[in-house]
Amino acid sequence: MFDKVLIANRGEIAVRVIRACQEMGVRTVAVYSDADRLSPHVLLAGEAVPIGPAPASQSYLRADAIIEAARETGAQAVHPGYGFMAESPDFARQVIDAGLIFVGPSPEAIAEMGDKTAARARMVSAGVPVIPGSEAVSEADQGVSEGDRIGWPVLLKAAAGGGGKGMRVIESAADLPRALSAASREAGQAFGDSRVYLEKYLSDPRHIEIQILADSHGRVIHLGERECSIQRRHQKLIEEAPSPVVDPGLRARMGEVAVAAAEAVGYVGAGTVEFLYQDREFYFLEMNTRIQVEHPVTEFVTGVDLVQEQIRVAAGLPLSVKESPDWPVGHAIECRISGEDPFSGFLPSSGMIRALEVPCGPGVRWDGGIVEHFEVGLHYDPLLGKLIVHAPTRDQAILRMRRALRELQIQGIRTTQPFHLAVLDEADFRAGDISVRYLDRHPELVGTAGGDWQARAAAVAATLLEHRSRVGEGSFSMTPQPPDRGTGGISQWRRLGMID
């Protein structure tokens, strides 16, 4: 086992990895930007190394600074968490070339599964069911021809990305040329790769994923499924395990396919094979070659610490767990708590956390990356923490999550907490009648999310200006602000009657 691991990330996932290491007797090193010097992950780690200014491009995306920090502190391994460079084959290769261990799959596996068109081709050859689609398209005529072959409507997707970037629904051939240009431009800006491809558009699918673990001794297992259908613009908001629609037979079939997908690329580590499911059929969507944000729900229903298994496998040890016929045990639900206003189009909310009380009690877990007096800025992903519950049944888990959400108190900024409470009270969600179109069917749950674009633009500008006036560019403030300034620029405009 390693003596010391560096965590190349921030926020709640960095805290999660540090805790896993501490429970294994492994020392930890945090890295941090100027804006994060008093962040929870910095205070929790055994050592902490500054790596640059607040913008991620000058800190958390600097492979050279991160590798130098590992060398300086004597860390033997680098855990990338999720996001930032967790799925960068170049970063993984640089870590390995520096004589360090990358806690994740090989650079080759990351590259193969990260390129969506290459991954589709590999899955087809492995016998994994995939959604009908195309190779990368660059010309409108080529796209129209492929769309005619696949059948309209189609989904335009970035070949090198995820998270909805570069994604467009194309209803007909006439809509493709303009959408192709916009999607290619967006993909290039987001991923440095402008390639896009077409995929058959499923009208009302569920998003179901399978967690896998693989070691370097030839063992690959799956730990069942997670339901991730509550999404906004392809970003997951609520996840649960097991899925309300997956029975033991379907779970076994999906698990076999997920294991085959991992074996096809010689996968080692923790990973997730994602599927779209509709009309009792499932199709390969993509493979995430990292730990997932929603991994705690699987941990609850299996009793397996996925992060510790990641670290064991990276150290060359065999998996310490065996698949159990009793999985899943009970039901788990996760709500992502973000610094966003769900009733104003999920606009970001910045400010100081003036008070924080997290829920506790049976079957309740809080994975957080904030503390009281922490300044939430606009440099990074707005995820503040994750609230996860476990109970014997789904109905009981919903009731437990409602109780836990009401106990959660975050003062100083707006969060997605009320949105989650609204979903948990909605009849279709309680009945398990959900899909990736859930919020399209229930726009009332996000209030004025589609409001006037001018008001929304004004609110964004107000938020940015207030953030800059309060903390400055790339700086960190521990000075409490007056109460009327702690909830971000959105509230200022709301009080002035500029937005609903």
Distance separating alpha carbons of residues 205 and 224, to the nearest angstrom: 19
Contact 304, 223 (CB under 8 A): yes
Tens digit of each residue's pLDDT, the chain (500 residues): 999 999 999 999 999 999 999 999 999 999 999 999 999 999 999 999 999 999 999 999 999 999 999 999 999 999 999 999 999 999 999 999 999 999 999 999 999 998 888 888 889 988 899 988 898 999 999 999 999 999 999 999 988 876 677 889 999 999 999 999 999 999 888 788 899 999 999 989 999 999 999 999 999 999 999 999 999 988 999 999 999 999 999 999 999 999 999 999 999 999 999 999 998 899 999 999 999 999 999 999 999 999 999 999 999 999 999 999 999 999 999 999 999 999 999 999 999 999 999 999 999 999 999 999 999 999 999 999 999 999 999 999 999 999 999 999 999 999 999 999 999 999 999 999 999 999 999 999 987 443 444 445 555 666 666 666 665 544 433 333 333 323 333 333 333 333 33
Single-letter code of the amino acid located at 192:
G
The pLDDT assigned to 190 comes to: 79
Walk me through the domains of the chain, giving residue ranges and CATH numbers.
Answer: 4-103 (3.40.50.20), 132-200 (3.30.1490.20), 206-446 (3.30.470.20), 453-495 (no CATH)
The pLDDT assigned to 121 comes to: 87
The pLDDT assigned to 459 comes to: 58
- What are the distances in angstroms from CA 286 to CA 234, 245, 309? 13, 21, 22
The pLDDT assigned to 450 comes to: 39
Q: Name residue 411's beta-bridge partners.
A: 355
- What are the distances in angstroms from CA 225 to CA 157, 329, 376? 24, 12, 33
Closest CA to 335 of 423, 276, 273, 250: 423
Q: Name residue 47's beta-bridge partners.
A: 29
- Catalytic position from the list 290, 312, 365, 414: 290
Catalytic-residue membership of 290: yes
Q: Could you tell me the pTM of the whole model?
A: 0.84
Q: Name residue 32's beta-bridge partners.
A: 50
